A and B are shown apart, each in its own frame.
Chain A
């Protein structure tokens, strides 16, 4: 019951990694893992059960003889559990049905190994040890059947490489998730909305504007407009490296929303290259006030607000009358 509920709410690893039926079929095709191989493997399932114990013993003896793999087995109970699971896996390798359940199992095992931090070199090294061991058993068992041992072994290699590929993908996936989380944390940086003078705001947009940040930016801007009763906003995008149609769309929406609240947005810092790219894409920014740099944006905003900037020395007329 709880298992089922978990399955419903959480993405399975297969979904997370985008493993569709098609993808699995492609992987099998690339390895040329076909029905013949499955027949070969099924034909040794009984034999595999016979050599399972000696193989497992040798396997763990090897594992425990190296410090870097031994450190994972401080708990004797754990060692026993892992041995049992490993034995089940080795026998599963020759049981056919390399279907979705099989794939999901492999991915989960891979994820466990990544989580405990088992190095990939140890992971691969152990597969290699296992294969060499099995090769010897097959060679011994099929001494009288020329070619059989090699045929079975080659089929086994295909399944093992399918599994290795899956496991390594889970390693990579975990790392990517970690990097994603770090990026996420960095993205939480708020976009400051600065009030330059009465009724005038500046919002410097820096970095990548994805949907999440764009929404955040719009919200912050609208809040500030309503709090300060701003009439003009300078949105400076000097720090935005690329403006594609989606970013442009976000900017346009922000501009419209601000307009509804009675504020005019002036877009500044649009580089000539970005302007050229936007024209090529065909995004229409003609309804948006734009200026080349912040300086001219400021002048335009002040004109809008009815200010006039005059150098101190030139103060004349009405101003002097007050002194």
Chain B
């Protein structure tokens, strides 16, 4: 069983693909049905942001084990335009598109850990983790 999977994200169809891959990986860790849905939803948000704002990018899913603590790490990265004001982008309801502006802040609430690095012209990388209980 592979512990790492990379999925290229270029269209809505890839969003489905990456969710399925994540489901397979996450099942290994014995996540509950609710956790699987929370993970899939977060993944959807991150993948959609790639498609909507960067055009294309990739998502890397990894199983990790930190001192017996097991979890799923999702890294969503793109070389798109980047986010100028991360603080604003992390606020509920802030969207430069026609979105609800809940994707990034929502993802933070859906997952256990959340890190974002981005800058104008530097692309965007979001790393989130869900720990198995």
> Which residues of chain A have a CB within 8 Å of any CB of chain B?
18, 20, 22-23, 176, 179-180, 183, 208, 210-211, 241-246, 248-249, 271-274, 276-277, 280-283
Contacts and interface: CB of A to CB of B under 8 A. Distances in A.
A306 B110 CA distance: 41
A72 to B, nearest CB: 29
Q: Which of A180, A282, A283 has the most B CB atoms < 10 Å from its CB? A: A282
B37 A245 contact: no
Interface string B21-43: 00000000000011011101100
Contacts of A22: 79
Given A180-B11, A242-B19, A274-B37, A249 B99 contact: yes
Nearest to B47: A244
A248 B100 contact: yes
A185 B19 CA distance: 21
B116 interface: no
A183 B105 contact: no
B11 A281 contact: no
A282 B44 contact: no
A241 B41 CA distance: 10
B100 A180 contact: no
A212 to B, nearest CB: 8
Contacts of B99: 245-246, 249
Report the 3 A-B pairs with minimum CB-CB distance, sorted nearest first. A281-B106, A273-B37, A244-B44
Contacts of B105: 282
A245 B102 CA distance: 6
A244 B37 contact: no
B48 interface: yes
